[in-house]
Amino acid sequence: MAQSKRYSERASAHTNPTAIRLFQIMERKQTNLSVSADVTTKAELLRITDAVGPYICCLKTHIDILSDFDHDLIDQLTALAKKHDFLIFEDRKFADIGNTVKLQYSSGVHKIASWSHITNAHIVPGEGIVKGLAEVGIPLQRGLLLLAEMSSAGSLATGEYTLEALRIARRNKEFCIGFIGQRRLEGLIPVEEKEDFIYMSPGVGLTSKGDGLGQQYRTPREVILDSGCDVIIVGRGIYGSGDTVENAKTYQKAGWDAYLERIEK
Ligand code: 5FU
């Protein structure tokens, strides 16, 4: 199982260029932390990104919440990704038919495919959403995560829906590198040899249990060790209060310690 393997071993065995880069960065920087900087100005996003850059493998963005978005922001984020060695994941959660998401991914104001190494999609519309995104993403060597589960209370992504995400990903392995989820799913239906999906898990917090709007938090140890996920996604736990850099270091260590415990088990 991928779960007991080192990220470096998984990098050598993978075929998707983005998945390989992500695993290599994780091993090189000893971090499975992705920071989600959900702020609404360019200056704040750049400040947080530069501060947490050394401690993350991936920056998660919601580019459509910025009130002063421009392409200079993309140039600067791309420069910071090079400077600190991390990937960018636009948490766009595409949810329309294949033809529409293809346009949303490639065009519009944000031109997500041109700068975001990873993006994600709901499977509500069926497999056509993956086919549409893949037409844009594969030539650019991007990776897609499917939303198999969500961290919020009352999420409808459960049971058969979650399993269908796994089945769709298996049929589209060239582009689908993994899932947004709360636990590793391979145990639920038979595992195929050489299959390796990346599980990124939001809803991570060391002190808070929720936010009053449905978000539910688990600790890095619960996510990485108990649930077998690969990347912890942390937002307000890092930039919400206290010292952003110290918080990032704390989550980086907690996530990495849980990973070491997992592979040494
Ligand atoms: F797919 C999901 C999910 O199931 N839960 C989430 O919280 C995505 N998220 C995102 O992770 C959400 O949109 C935020 O950007 C981030 C969590 O932020 P927090 O501040 O750590 O709660």
Q: Answer yes or no: 75 catalytic.
A: no
* 1-15, 62-76, 82-96: least confident range: 1-15
Query: Which residue's CA is the nearest one to ligand 1's atom 4?
Result: 150
Q: Answer yes or no: 93 catalytic.
A: yes
215 is in an annotated binding site: yes
126 is in an annotated binding site: no
pLDDT surpasses 70 at 192: no
pLDDT at residue 207, rounded to an integer: 95
Mutation pick for ligand 1 pocket among 145, 213, 215, 234 (CB with most ligand atoms within 8 Å): 215
In sequence order, which residues have a C-beta less than 8 Å from that of residue 204 and are 6 or more positions away?
A: 217, 218, 219, 220, 223, 232, 233, 234, 237, 251
Question: For every residue of 60-78, which 3-state class applies, written as one string?
Answer: EECHHHCCCCCHHHHHHHH
pLDDT at residue 19, rounded to an integer: 98
What average pLDDT does range 87-93 have in this prediction? 99
pLDDT at residue 187, rounded to an integer: 78
pLDDT surpasses 70 at 49: yes
pLDDT at residue 217, rounded to an integer: 98
151 is in an annotated binding site: yes
pLDDT at residue 109, rounded to an integer: 98
What average pLDDT does range 100-113 have in this prediction? 98
**What mean pLDDT is reported for the chain?**
96
Query: Which residue's CA is the nearest one to ligand 1's atom 6?
Result: 202
- CA–CA separation, 262 and 121 (whole Å): 28
pLDDT at residue 191, rounded to an integer: 67
* 51-65, 155-169, 179-193, 209-223: least confident range: 179-193
- Closest atom of ligand 1 to 204 CA is 21
DSSP state of 227: S
Q: Which of 96, 111, 211, 257 is catalytic?
A: 96
Q: ipTM of this model?
A: 0.99
Q: What share of the chain in percent tops pLDDT 90?
A: 94
Residue 1: pLDDT band with limits 50, 70, 90: low
pLDDT at residue 246, rounded to an integer: 98
102 is in an annotated binding site: no
216 is in an annotated binding site: no
Question: CB neighbours (10 Å) of residue 115?
Answer: 19
- Closest atom of ligand 1 to 120 CA is 1
- CA–CA separation, 262 and 265 (whole Å): 5
Could you tell me which of 92, 101, 137 has the C-alpha nearest to residue 117?
137
For residue 143, CA distances in Å to 17, 135, 158, 262 come to: 8, 12, 23, 25
pLDDT at residue 178, rounded to an integer: 98
Mutation pick for ligand 1 pocket among 35, 38, 48 (CB with most ligand atoms within 8 Å): 38
What average pLDDT does range 177-206 have in this prediction? 89
Instruction: List pocket residues of ligand 1, CB cut-off 6 Å.
Output: 36, 38, 62, 91, 147, 150-152, 180, 202-203, 215, 233-237
Query: Which residue's CA is the nearest one to ligand 1's atom 15?
Result: 36
- CA–CA separation, 62 and 85 (whole Å): 20
Using only C-alpha atoms, the chain has a radius of gyration, in whole angstroms, of 17
